[in-house]
Amino acid sequence: MKPAHLRRHLQLAAVAATILLAACASTTKPGVVGVQRQQLLLVSADTVERMALVNYTQQNQKAKAAGRLVASGSEFERLKRVAGRLEKQVGVFRDDAMKWNWQVTLIDAPILNASCGPGGKITFYTGLIRQLKLNDDEIAVIMGHEIAHALREHGREQVSKAYAQNALTQAALTAAPDSAAQIEAANQVAHYLYELPNSRQNESEADGMGLELAARAGYNPNAAIAVWKKMNAASNGKQPAEFLSTHPSNDTRIADLGALMPKVAPLYEASRKN
């Protein structure tokens, strides 16, 4: 008969294994690009979305106070138009995203960056559009890539890993709304959502899903290759643009994008006939 302490240890290990198994899931459908990896999602989607909204609201308030929040004009309308077409396609990967409160923010700053937070909170900087002279197809593939990160819950996955490693506490994640503690916790969560580099696997998933979204919305997916070539040229051997610091870009990636085209090109051609 096993000693009591050994039985207790085995029971705890079994409970832990059960929790981890339950936390491994995939919240997206594979689409034609075939993304179906199981993910570690220990922290609830509602918690991550709530924290991300605090950070998004702070970002917009600061931009507005600095006179940098763009809420009208041709650039803003272009972003809204592209976002609207992409949003109509998100159901191919997850039905619930059709009901997200999608929002678009444009900040006037010479920064080459864009993001999409949990729950559909899209941010672009004018520097990205102007410096790279982006056309609508190029905006769509960048935005589709960022939307894919949100759909695939890569940020939630990063936060869950941090929680599993005790880098984030339960107390921080359950901080009371509108409290100083929640703002501090939201800033911690933002580090895992936006600042840490995504893994090559996550980037590959976002590339594929983003291309599919763009193609289904009627935007030329080949624009993705042009965008990454522009990004590489923009860095020109100097300090990488902020966008590149969290989005690894190299010849291999461009080749990988090219390899995805046969899967998404028929969707683009079909969209043009509708």
Q: Is the pLDDT of residue 199 over 60?
A: yes
pLDDT category of residue 19 using cuts at 50, 70 and 90:
very low
Q: Is the pLDDT of residue 153 over 70?
A: yes
Give the mean model confidence (pLDDT) for residues 113-123: 96
Q: Is the pLDDT of residue 113 over 80?
A: yes
Q: How far is residue 172 from each of residues 42, 54, 192, 195, measured CA to CA in Å? A: 15, 13, 14, 19
Is 146 annotated as catalytic? yes
pLDDT of 123 reads 98
Q: Is the pLDDT of residue 266 over 80?
A: yes
**Beta pairing class for 24-25 and 39-40:** antiparallel
**Six-digit token pair at 196?**
């840490």
Beta-carbon contacts of 256 under 8 Å, excluding residues fewer than 6 positions away, are 204, 207
| 1 vs 255 pLDDT, higher one | 255
User: What proportions of the chain, in percent to the nearest 5, are helix, strand and coil?
Assistant: 65, 5, 30
Look at phi and psi of residue 4 and say left if phi exceeds 0, alpha if psi is from -120 to 50, else beta: alpha
44-79 in b/e form (b: 16+ CB < 10 A) is eeebbbbbbbbbbeebbeebeeeeebbeeeebbebb
Give the mean model confidence (pLDDT) for residues 237-255: 61
What is the phi/psi pair of residue 124, to 5°?
Answer: -125, 155
Taking only the tens place, the pLDDT of each residue in 160-196 is 888 888 766 676 676 666 667 677 777 777 777 787 7
pLDDT of 192 reads 75
pLDDT category of residue 250 using cuts at 50, 70 and 90:
low
pLDDT category of residue 246 using cuts at 50, 70 and 90:
low
The structure's pTM equals: 0.84
pLDDT of 234 reads 80
Q: Is the pLDDT of residue 58 over 70?
A: yes
Q: Is the pLDDT of residue 1 over 70?
A: no
Percentage of the residues of the chain whose pLDDT score is greater than 70: 81
* Residue in 49, 138, 146, 212 annotated catalytic: 146
Give the mean model confidence (pLDDT) for residues 97-111: 97
pLDDT of 59 reads 95
Taking residue 186's Cβ as centre, other Cβ atoms within 10 Å add up to 21
Q: Is the pLDDT of residue 274 over 60?
A: yes
Q: If DSSP codes are grouped into helix, strand and coil, which group holds residue 199?
A: coil
Q: Is the pLDDT of residue 12 over 50?
A: no
- Residues 168, 105, 115, 208: is their CA dihedral positive or negative? positive
Dist. CA 251–CA 271, nearest whole Å: 29
Q: What is the mean pLDDT of the chain?
A: 84
Q: CA-based diameter of the chain, in Å?
A: 76
Taking residue 95's Cβ as centre, other Cβ atoms within 10 Å add up to 10
